[in-house]
């Protein structure tokens, strides 16, 4: 991927969680993405813990800076290291920026585990996983996720996913791998902005990833694997436009 495409990927959304791997690998990816978005160090703003946590004052300073125009280039970029160490008050302050983001900023939250962040923050970010979920997905799970993803984008009926569900729910590991792989597949499609699927805009992709997050938590809490995967697919299918649902041209086609 060239630098231009790399920058376009991360400019496609205003807030990203970079999860997994080592602290060094997370920071390296964030810095590479930031420099691809803007070559000007003056427009890259870093926040890291002072002592054991990132406090409200640091987030207030960042919030004020992001409300201003970039100093040199076209984008402000924020890198929040060890984002999970933000105090609750600091996270709530950041949430205000995520809810009403300035038009020319991209924010990267670096964390070993996104569960350390408030759910309201997680729901407003896209996730880039490194060194763990993104790389430890089996070929079988990736193939099932691609099959499911294409079916979802094409507007297929729920009953057409029956054999896929059976393969994805052999055990809890298979279900987890499938859910992780589906998130990766949809995130890639979002970055590429696929044509020919008018029912899937950016917000629907974001909602889909939120549904996947919920399904992953269900599995972590030992919810039945079949229920977790079936419920996820029902939510993803039912999230589309309702007026023209029955008339969708690909309804009823085989997977």
Q: How many domains does the chain have?
A: 2
Check whether residue 123 and residue 101 sit in a common domain: yes
CA distance 165 to 142: 14
State which of 65, 96, 129 marks the end of a domain: 129
* C-alpha dist (Å) from residue 178 to 96, 106, 150: 33, 29, 14
Check whether residue 162 and residue 227 sit in a common domain: yes
Check whether residue 110 and residue 157 sit in a common domain: no
Check whether residue 173 and residue 236 sit in a common domain: yes
Q: Which residue matches tokens 């926040």?
A: 47
CA distance 128 to 236: 20
CA distance 150 to 112: 30
**186: how many CB neighbours lie within 10 A of its CB?**
25
The encoded tokens of residue 188 equal 């890639």
Produce one character per residue of 94-105: b if its CB has 16 or more CB atoms within 10 Å, e if not: bbebbeebbebb
Instruction: Write out the chain's pLDDT in tens, 255 residues.
Output: 455 556 667 777 889 999 888 888 899 999 999 999 999 999 999 999 998 999 999 999 999 999 999 999 999 999 999 999 999 999 999 999 999 888 789 999 999 888 889 989 988 888 887 865 445 567 888 899 999 999 998 888 999 999 999 999 988 778 888 988 898 888 888 776 656 677 788 888 888 888 888 887 777 667 888 999 999 999 999 886 544 433 344 444 444
State which of 102, 129, 156 marks the end of a domain: 129
Please give the backbone phi and psi of residue 19, each rounded to the nearest 5 degrees, phi first: -120, 145
pLDDT of residue 41: 94
Range of the domain at 206: 139-247
CA angle 6, 65, 80 (to 5 degrees): 55
- The CATH number that applies at residue 123 is 3.40.50.300
Give burial (CB, 10 Å; 0-12/13-18/19+) of 175.
buried
**66: how many CB neighbours lie within 10 A of its CB?**
19
- Regarding pTM above 0.85, the answer is no
**207: how many CB neighbours lie within 10 A of its CB?**
15
**What is the bridge-based pairing of β-strands 15-19 and 126-129?**
parallel
């Amino acid at each position: 991927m060239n630098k231009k495409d790399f920058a376009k990927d991360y400019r496609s959304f205003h807030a990203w969680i970079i999860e997994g791997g080592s602290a060094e690998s997370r920071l390296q990816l964030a810095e590479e993405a930031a420099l691809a978005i803007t070559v000007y160090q003056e427009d890259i703003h870093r926040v890291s813990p002072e002592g054991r946590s990132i406090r409200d004052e640091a987030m207030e300073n960042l919030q004020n800076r992001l409300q201003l125009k970039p100093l040199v280039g076209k984008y402000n970029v924020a890198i929040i290291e060890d984002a999970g160490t933000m105090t609750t008050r600091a996270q709530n302050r950041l949430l205000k920026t995520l809810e009403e983001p300035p038009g020319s900023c991209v924010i990267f939250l670096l964390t070993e585990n996104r569960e350390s962040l408030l759910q309201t923050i997680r729901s407003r970010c896209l996730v880039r996983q490194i060194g763990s979920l993104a790389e430890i997905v089996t070929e079988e799970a990736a193939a099932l996720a691609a099959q499911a993803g294409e079916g979802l984008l094409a507007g297929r009926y729920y009953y057409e996913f029956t054999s896929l569900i059976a393969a994805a729910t052999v055990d809890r590991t298979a279900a987890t791998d499938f859910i992780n792989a589906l998130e990766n597949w949809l995130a890639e499609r979002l970055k590429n902005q696929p044509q020919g699927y008018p029912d899937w805009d950016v917000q629907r992709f974001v909602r889909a990833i939120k549904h996947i997050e919920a399904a992953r938590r269900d599995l972590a809490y030992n919810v039945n694997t079949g229920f977790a995967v079936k419920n996820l697919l029902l939510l993803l299918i039912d999230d589309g436009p309702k007026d023209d649902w029955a008339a969708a041209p690909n309804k009823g086609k085989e997977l």
